[in-house]
Amino acid sequence: MSNIALKIERERKIRGLTQKDLAERSGVTYSTITKLESGVQHNPTIETVVRIANALDVRIDTLIEPQLGFDNSGIFPNDIKPEKKTGKFKFIDLFAGIGGIRIGFEKQGGISVFSSEIDTYACKTYEANFKETPAGDITKIDEKDIPDHDILLAGFPCQPFSIAGVSKKISMGVNHGFLDGTKGTLFFDIARIVKEKRPKILFLENVKNLMSHDKGNTFKVILNTLTDLNYTPYFQVFDGKHFVPQHRERTIVVAFNNDIFNNEENFSFPEVPLNKTKLSDILDKDIDEKYTLSDKLWEYLQSYAKKHREKGNGFGFGLADFNGVTRTLSARYYKDGSEILIPQEGKNPRKLTPRECARLQGFPENFIIPVSDTQAYKQFGNSVVVPLMEHLAKSVIKYL
């Protein structure tokens, strides 16, 4: 029996878990757990090790030794975070999520000097991929403690400005957007950091609806705030379908510090390429049956769609076109997968797997997913189209 087999078995038994318990907790298949503990499989992927370590609540190095080989190019893939201490420019990553924007700017030679994310599970994924644990709640971090940087990245929270989020808050009689006493004011945490640190460029990402929210007043407040801080903002809506087989529109704001550029940067957003990728290109062939919808759920979704069609509404599930692009992947995908269902011959449709969701967002193939399927769906649904971020980063850094 190998060292890792002994360690997994020991830690599992200390916690009174069966192999099936560990499989359910970690999201690693029961077959893989049994093969690891029996020594049949002795070089697991780092993603598998991270999932098991999280399920057992132990550090990764409790289970592995530094010299242990992996079939996933090591613990921290070079195409995500280069091992170097210096870069062409420095950036900070606010409301970092799982690092989608970061990857785009790192690929242009930048290095992160600070990151912040409040969600515990997103932090696990971020740490697994970037060897960096994000600082927590940005509202509790003094702007003076944040390192100097050239570019501020911020995919500030979507919920207060999304159509779905606003509708829900209105129905509950709750204030929304900048009137929201919690997330609605988080843009102003960006503003206080900008005021103190004066980065050369700001790169902000949000939902498409940001521009029309509250009859345009929300976006007006954002632009006025940036102007008051002596930055010149540029904005445009981009659709991720130009890079991946997913319709995903997002508002991008790039702002330049007038103290440095003197309003002479003459910035323009880049043209987007013609995407030739289709959905079938990112799908796996051998899929676990757990992703197939149950008869009960599939009947419910069909009934729900029929009811709304009769009322003249457009609500309902979406069967994806293998040769086309999907609807927008959302953070609610874990519930039933209804917005993107994959047809299957002779049986009910299925949900995308977390790895397929990663591909749909353009994440590198060796991006580590150390969390449960539920958390993974939420994380990729809240993230960005990585190739779009890289494409925009190329244009932005030309001005440094």
> Same domain, yes or no, for 310 and 391?
no
Structure tokens at 148: 């100097």
Tokens 């830690």 belong to 11
238, 249 Cβ separation under 8 angstroms:
yes
Task: Show the tokens assigned to 219.
Answer: 């976006």
Task: Inform me whether the pLDDT recorded for 81 exceeds 90.
Answer: no
Task: Please give the tally of structural domains in the chain.
Answer: 3
Per mean pLDDT, which of 66-80, 114-128, 185-199 is the most reliable? 114-128
Q: Is the model's pLDDT at 75 over the cut of 90?
A: no
Average pLDDT for 140-156: 94
Tell me what the pLDDT averaged over the chain comes to: 85
Q: If pLDDT is split at 50, 70 and 90, which confidence band does 9 have? A: confident
Q: Which two tokens stand for residue 292?
A: 């197939």
Domain that holds residue 290: 279-372
DSSP state of 94: E
Evaluate whether residue 15 is within a structural domain: yes
Burial 6-34 (b: 16+ CB within 10 A, else e): ebbbebbeeeebebeebbebbbbeeebbe
pLDDT digits (tens, 9 = 90+) for 15-48: 888 998 898 888 888 888 888 888 877 778 777 8
Q: Two tokens at 243?
A: 């890079």
Q: Is pLDDT above 70 for 339?
A: yes
Is pLDDT above 80 for 362? yes
Spatial distance between the Cα atoms of 116 and 137, rounded to a whole number of angstroms: 7
Report how far residue 186's alpha carbon sits from residue 277's, in angstroms, rounded to the nearest whole number. Answer: 36
**235 and 307 assigned to the same domain:** no
158 noted as active-site residue: yes
Token pair 């002795």 is found at 42
Same domain, 219 and 305: no
User: Higher-confidence residue: 296 or 318?
Assistant: 296
CA distance 261 to 254: 13
CATH classification at residue 168: 3.40.50.150
Are 258 and 286 found together in one domain? no
What's 31's domain CATH number? 1.10.260.40
Provide the pLDDT for residue 314.
Answer: 62
The C-alpha atoms of residue 331 and residue 32 are separated, in whole angstroms, by 28
**C-alpha–C-alpha distance, residues 85 and 87, integer Å:** 7
Residue 360 lies in a domain: yes
If asked whether residues 47 and 120 sit together in one domain, one would say no
User: Does residue 378 belong to any structural domain of this protein?
Assistant: no
Residue 49: inside a domain = yes
CA distance linking residue 43 with residue 55, whole number of Å:
19
pLDDT at 169: 52
Task: Enter the tokens of residue 369.
Answer: 């997913």
pLDDT of residue 53 exceeding 70: yes
Q: List Cα–Cα distances, 189 to 98, 140, 214, 368, 375, in angstroms.
A: 20, 10, 21, 30, 26
The pLDDT tens digits for 205-219 are: 999 988 887 778 888
The model's pTM is 0.75
How buried is residue 373: exposed, middle or buried, by Cβ count under 10 Å (0-12/13-18/19+)?
A: middle
Domain-embedded: residue 99: yes
In terms of average pLDDT, the best of 23-37, 76-90, 107-121, 299-313 is 107-121
Choice among 55, 158, 226, 342 that is catalytic: 158
